[in-house]
């Protein structure tokens, strides 16, 4: 039970756009007043003539529990004795035009299971968190120079039970967490889990921003899921939508009969493409609401990050033929990021932004928007268009592979293959690949090889790890039966091995955001569509050589220039037979030979597999141990 009260100072902060913990007093809170137990209700409805709390407890009669107006700006409050946890309720609002509206609580901590739409009184306190070790670990290990591999999940279609019904949060924790651990992902990213009425909106059109969707259980069941993730050293990121919301009658839209959470001007308010309404990000009360919401998920659910949806839709005014900057949104995003990082300095704030807006991941103190990561949509679009082209025409699209390295270090990037790329007729990643059955798998392995060796952190939508053949079917589970097919099973083996290599090899992540960590060897082989480059760590001569062949041709004794006179060992080859390849590998260490090639003082001769990705590690040369004795330090990760 919590004891809450709405003070004059709270009201002032809310209207100033500075009440970032408004969830502590707005909504429904179990409390005690004058020795009597009950629930305190508070809501913002600035244009309402009258607001009442209605529910089964008063036969949904608005005359029984009319709320008191606490401020001229429209905050209403009422304490009702005897209301306990689990009671359902709504606000009945009489508008300025005497229309009657029934609205769910914008700050409700729980909602009824769809299709019902009432809010539920809930107590979020008292959960026994056991993730203190995880929190300490986060502080000690910042993400910038660490592996970051995100598994994007839609909980409603990852896996269904035998009756083809949804699993609960607790059931998913028993299945999803071991699966993620087995594959080596560092984080799970959940498509929006705020309450939403329509399954097929995937949570992007919400009604209950403070209410974890009841499709999978109660709020504390979600806490259990996140706590279990943390106990296994898995972070949890939630997809978060501060730009727009759905227009269902019980939700935020025209909350008190007039624009409240949305822009007053229809041209700015209506998001015609998605059929939603845009938040009025210049309104101070909306700023208090949304920033409080972000801090709420950190406070009560211990989330480790937010993927902020549709940033481009906020940065520029909607429904405009030209890109016109929205100053309210720009100011809001800076304010949001500042508040979130004060609350949790170790949080991930990830912008889903498809524009070329500068300094998205720079601190606000330096003139940036204040995020610490941004999806690299340009890389994703370029490489997918390159891969979908026929091998014969790829020499004409050579720049699609190289262009991203011109700007790769201008922001802190995440390379995303998300749900958006495998739905609505776009085909799955596997089925985007041209050619026959074998060639599709070979090229998908090659694509992943490029992804995990390219600078930037990684994100993959569920199903990509085993080569889901059909595009995402959001009302069905993934095609798990494909794991019984040899090539799909071998794809999963490959992906796990690739992720293991990625997590252990410092050159693949330590200097992700610095041009010191990447160097082209051969960027000009347009005719053969072969690319080679070096990834480096902070330690001198700790490096990997990566060779990618985007055509179905094998080469023997192919020369590649290298910077160090040592041996090179193949630690990953996408063409290994255990992965479904043709076995064109380099099983023995390759000795560098003196002689300039590709502008390097040394070169190696190697086998280049068809549609192959090869990672070679420079073997450490003879060094000295702490006693001054020379020792051979190979320390090489084995193939296989």
Residues noted as catalytic: 309, 352
DSSP string spanning 335-356? Answer: HHHHHHHHH-TT-EEEE---S-
Q: CA-to-CA distance for 508 and 542, rounded, in angstroms?
A: 11
**Short-list 565, 531, 524, CA closest to 547:** 531
Q: CA-to-CA distance for 543 and 555, rounded, in angstroms?
A: 24
Q: CA-to-CA distance for 150 and 186, rounded, in angstroms?
A: 6
Q: CA-to-CA distance for 453 and 74, rounded, in angstroms?
A: 55
Q: Report yes or no: 127 and 212 within 8 Å, Cβ to Cβ.
A: no
Q: CA-to-CA distance for 289 and 209, rounded, in angstroms?
A: 9
- Decide: helix, strand or coil at residue 293: helix
Q: CA-to-CA distance for 338 and 565, rounded, in angstroms?
A: 48
Residue holding tokens 């798990």?
A: 480
Instruction: Give a three-class secondary structure readout of 523-565.
Output: CCCCCCCEEEEEEECCCCCCEEEEEEECCCCCEEEEEEEECCC
Q: CA-to-CA distance for 119 and 107, rounded, in angstroms?
A: 9
**Cis (ω within 30 of 0) for the bond into 224?**
no
- What's the farthest any 2 CA atoms get from each other in the chain? 91
Q: CA-to-CA distance for 614 and 612, rounded, in angstroms?
A: 6
Q: CA-to-CA distance for 420 and 237, rounded, in angstroms?
A: 17
Residue holding tokens 């995303």?
A: 416
Buried b (16+ CB within 10 A) or exposed e, 530-569: bbbbbbbbeeeebbbbbbbbbbbebbeebebbbbbebbbb
Angle at which helices 219-231 and 169-183 cross, to 10°: 20
Strand bridging mode 149-153 / 100-103: unpaired
Q: Report yes or no: 412 and 513 within 8 Å, Cβ to Cβ.
A: yes
* Tokens representing residue 581 in the block: 């390849």
Q: CA-to-CA distance for 408 and 519, rounded, in angstroms?
A: 12
- Decide: helix, strand or coil at residue 270: strand
């Amino acid at each position: 039970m919590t004891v809450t009260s709405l003070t004059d100072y709270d009201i002032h902060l809310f209207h100033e756009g500075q009440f970032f913990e408004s969830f502590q007093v707005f909504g429904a809170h179990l409390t005690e007043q004058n020795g009597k137990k009950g629930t305190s209700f508070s809501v913002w409805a600035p244009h309402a003539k009258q607001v009442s709390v209605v529910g089964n407890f008063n036969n949904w009669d608005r005359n029984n529990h009319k709320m008191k107006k606490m401020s001229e700006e429209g905050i209403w409050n009422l304490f009702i004795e005897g209301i306990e946890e689990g009671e359902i309720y709504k606000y009945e609002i009489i508008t300025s035009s005497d229309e009657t509206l029934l609205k769910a609580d914008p700050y409700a901590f729980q909602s009824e299971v769809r299709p019902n739409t009432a809010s539920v009184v809930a107590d979020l306190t008292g959960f026994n968190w056991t993730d203190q070790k995880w929190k300490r670990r986060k502080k000690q290990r910042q993400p910038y120079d660490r592996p970051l591999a995100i598994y994007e999940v839609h909980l409603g279609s990852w896996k269904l039970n035998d009756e083809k019904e949804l699993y609960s949060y607790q059931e998913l924790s028993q299945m999803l967490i071991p699966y993620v651990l087995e594959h080596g992902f560092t984080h799970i990213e959940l498509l929006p889990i705020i309450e939403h009425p329509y399954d097929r909106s995937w949570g992007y059109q919400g009604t209950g921003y403070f209410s974890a969707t009841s499709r999978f259980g109660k709020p504390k069941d979600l806490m259990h899921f996140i706590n279990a993730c943390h106990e296994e050293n898995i972070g949890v990121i939630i997809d978060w939508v501060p730009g727009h919301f759905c227009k269902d009658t019980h939700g935020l839209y025209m909350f008190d009969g007039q624009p409240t959470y949305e822009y007053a001007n229809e041209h700015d308010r209506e998001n015609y493409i998605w059929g939603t309404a845009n938040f009025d990000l210049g309104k101070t009360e909306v700023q208090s609401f949304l920033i409080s919401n972000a801090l709420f998920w950190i406070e009560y659910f211990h989330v480790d990050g937010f993927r902020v949806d549709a940033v481009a839709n906020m940065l520029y005014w909607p429904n405009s033929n030209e890109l016109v900057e929205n100053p309210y949104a720009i100011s809001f995003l800076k304010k949001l990021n500042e508040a979130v990082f004060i609350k949790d300095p170790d949080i991930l704030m990830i912008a889903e932004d498809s524009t070329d807006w500068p300094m998205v991941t720079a601190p606000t103190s330096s003139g940036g928007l204040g995020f610490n990561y941004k999806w690299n949509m340009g890389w994703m679009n370029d490489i997918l268009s390159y891969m979908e082209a026929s091998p014969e025409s790829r020499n004409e699209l050579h720049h699609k592979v190289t262009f991203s390295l011109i700007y790769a270090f201008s922001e802190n990037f995440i390379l995303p293959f998300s749900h958006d790329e495998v739905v609505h007729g776009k085909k799955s990643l596997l089925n985007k690949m041209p050619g026959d059955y074998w060639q599709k798998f070979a090229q998908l392995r090659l694509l992943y090889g490029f992804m995990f060796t390219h600078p930037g952190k990684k994100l993959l939508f569920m199903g990509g790890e085993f080569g889901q053949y059909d595009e995402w079917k959001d009302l069905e589970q993934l095609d798990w039966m494909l794991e019984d097919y040899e090539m799909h099973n071998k794809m999963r083996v490959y992906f796990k091995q690739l992720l293991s290599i990625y997590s252990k090899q410092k050159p693949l992540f330590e200097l992700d955001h610095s041009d010191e960590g990447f160097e082209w060897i051969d960027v000009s082989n347009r005719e053969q569509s072969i690319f080679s480059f070096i990834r480096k760590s902070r330690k001198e001569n700790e490096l990997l050589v990566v060779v990618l062949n985007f055509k179905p041709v094998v080469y023997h004794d192919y020369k590649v220039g290298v910077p160090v006179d040592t041996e090179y060992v193949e630690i990953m080859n996408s063409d290994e037979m255990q992965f479904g390849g043709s076995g064109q590998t380099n099983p023995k260490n390759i000795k560098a030979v003196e002689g300039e090639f590709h502008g390097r003082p040394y070169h190696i001769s190697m086998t280049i597999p068809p549609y192959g990705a090869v990672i070679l590690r420079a073997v450490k040369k003879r060094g000295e141990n702490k006693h001054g004795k020379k020792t051979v330090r190979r320390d090489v990760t084995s193939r296989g």
